[in-house]
Homo-oligomer: A and B are copies of this chain.
């Protein structure tokens, strides 16, 4: 049985940020629990499985990436990582390990809560009906069984690569997907460094699916990291 308010585990060593997160989450109706170190965080996650985890990558006792890896070994709970400026590499590595989203310090309350909402919604959806044949995001519709794509109820023709790229984004709607992940999924592991492919094909998809390709509403760029399909 799930309690009414989602349980959120904070793994963060700096007391200041812990207090800030605690206050923000409580105020928004969540139930935060805290852990100061990676080991404590893992113990908490194991004994009291949370609905989402906020994980600081800069922990004193162990690498934040290692924490993420160990959690992913047995759980698919949404993980939002916190990174300091200039920790781009760790951030991307965490997302590649299966983290769902990231926040760069300093960040605002609104941003934090928005990310948590998306993560929780996404988790609920994928737990529910996973083998969906038709996926809908806003006024985009992808019929996986018939292999057809619609925007605002008019069919859009996609090439094979465009279709594969879109379906990978749709299957992980709301989540940040790294360049490497998308390239591996669509073009195969051998092309994991051809980021240029992604640029060209994202541009093509935007022209076919967005009302205004230069101000995308669905196909969002995460600079230095990858892309994300907006969830609503």
- Which residues in window 186-232 of A have CB below 8 A to B? 222-225
> Which residues of the other chain, B, contact A174 by a CB distance below 8 angstroms?
146, 148
Q: Are the C-beta atoms of A222 and B175 separated by less than 8 Å?
A: no
Most chain B beta-carbon contacts within 10 A, residue among A145, A146, A148, A160: A146
Give Cα distance in the complex from A159 to B221, angstroms.
12
- Asked whether A148 lies within 8 Å of B176 as measured between CB atoms, the reply is yes
Partner of A225, one of B160, B175, B222, B225: B160
Of B148, B159, B223, B225, the residue contacting A147 (CB under 8 A) is B225
How many copies of this chain are found per oligomer?
A: 2
11 interchain pairs, CB-CB under 8 A: A146-B174, A146-B176, A147-B175, A147-B222, A147-B225, A148-B176, A159-B223, A159-B224, A160-B223, A160-B224, A160-B225
Q: CB-nearest residue of chain B relative to A175?
A: B146
Measured between beta carbons, the chain B residues less than 8 angstroms from A145 are: 175
Give the distance in Å from the alpha carbon of A176 to the alpha carbon of B147 in the complex: 6
CA distance A224 to B157 in the complex (A): 13
